[in-house]
């Protein structure tokens, strides 16, 4: 009986150690906005693309270091920080014609799951913008890990995808004499984030 109790104790201890080992691989990282970029591209006058970015954002990621897999991600973007390089255009984008930054000051993304499709990593999550939440898919890539000169552990990811601004109620446009529209409906998202291990 005593030997049986010892055996059960040993098995339980090993099981607990194994569980502990599984969890130790999941680490929380914070996005370093200085070395990251959240950008976009949209058609202008049908024939060209206007590119821009958001300058003010933050977020956290939970990364499984053993599987090299993103488990969680939450990103918040300040709408007012939109920057296309043209002051008047940026002011228009912040107005109620487009993002209505005064009413909707934040754009957010929350990862729901990660899958593999055709050999590519797909990030599936909820994007909330202009008061509307919709699920989107981003094609992602883990870019690697490195120790910085100050001893911090860093990882990086890239992701890109498409969304239709009409789905989020961002509908302003003008018809051109040629019959096309001034601004496209489809928006390409271009994201690169460098993250530092949270202490």
Whether this prediction's pTM lies above 0.95 is answered by no
Spatial separation of the C-alpha atoms in residues 91 and 8, rounded to whole Å: 68
Let me know the angle formed at the C-alpha of 138 by 51 and 83, rounded to the nearest 5 degrees.
Answer: 25
Spatial separation of the C-alpha atoms in residues 133 and 129, rounded to whole Å: 7
Q: What does each of the 199 residues of the chain score in pLDDT, given as a tens digit? A: 555 555 555 545 555 455 444 445 789 999 999 999 999 987 665 566 789 999 999 999 999 988 888 999 999 999 999 999 989 989 999 999 889 999 999 999 999 999 888 878 999 999 999 999 999 999 999 999 999 888 889 999 999 999 998 899 887 666 656 655 456 677 899 999 999 998 8
Q: CA 147 → CA 42, 136, 195, distances in Å?
A: 36, 32, 11
pLDDT score for 174: 65
* Locus of tokens 């990103």: 75
Neighbours of 190 (CB within 10 A): 15
| Cβ atoms of 84 and 51 closer than 8 Å | yes
Going from N- to C-terminal start, the domains of the chain cover 26-197
pLDDT score for 73: 96
> Could you say which of 3.30.465.10, 3.40.50.150, 2.40.128.110, 2.30.40.10 is the CATH number of the domain covering 26-197?
2.40.128.110
Helix, strand, or coil (residue 82) = strand
pLDDT score for 53: 94
Q: What is the CA radius of gyration of the chain?
A: 22
| Cβ atoms of 66 and 42 closer than 8 Å | no
pLDDT score for 133: 98
Neighbours of 117 (CB within 10 A): 9
pLDDT score for 21: 45
> β-pairing, 48-54 with 37-44?
antiparallel
pLDDT score for 25: 78
pLDDT score for 19: 47
Spatial separation of the C-alpha atoms in residues 75 and 108, rounded to whole Å: 6
pLDDT score for 181: 47
Spatial separation of the C-alpha atoms in residues 72 and 93, rounded to whole Å: 30
């Amino acid at each position: 009986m005593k030997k049986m109790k010892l055996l059960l104790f040993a098995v339980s201890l090993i099981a607990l150690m194994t569980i502990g080992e599984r969890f130790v691989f999941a680490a929380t990282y914070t996005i370093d906005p200085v070395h990251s970029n959240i950008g976009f591209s949209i058609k202008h006058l049908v024939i060209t693309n206007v590119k821009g970015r958001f300058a003010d954002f933050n977020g956290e990621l939970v990364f499984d270091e053993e599987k090299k897999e993103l488990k969680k991600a939450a990103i918040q973007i300040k709408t007012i920080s939109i920057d296309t390089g043209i002051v008047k255009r940026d002011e228009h984008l912040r107005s109620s014609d487009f993002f209505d930054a005064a009413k909707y000051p934040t754009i957010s993304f929350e990862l729901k799951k990660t899958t593999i499709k055709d050999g590519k990593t797909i990030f599936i999550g909820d994007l909330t913008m202009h008061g509307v939440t919709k699920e989107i898919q981003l094609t992602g890539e883990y870019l690697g890990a490195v120790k910085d000169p100050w001893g911090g552990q860093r990882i990086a990811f890239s992701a890109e995808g498409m969304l239709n601004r009409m789905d989020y109620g961002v509908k302003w446009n003008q018809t051109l004499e040629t019959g096309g529209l001034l601004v496209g409906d489809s928006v390409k998202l271009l994201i690169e984030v460098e993250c530092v291990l949270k202490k």
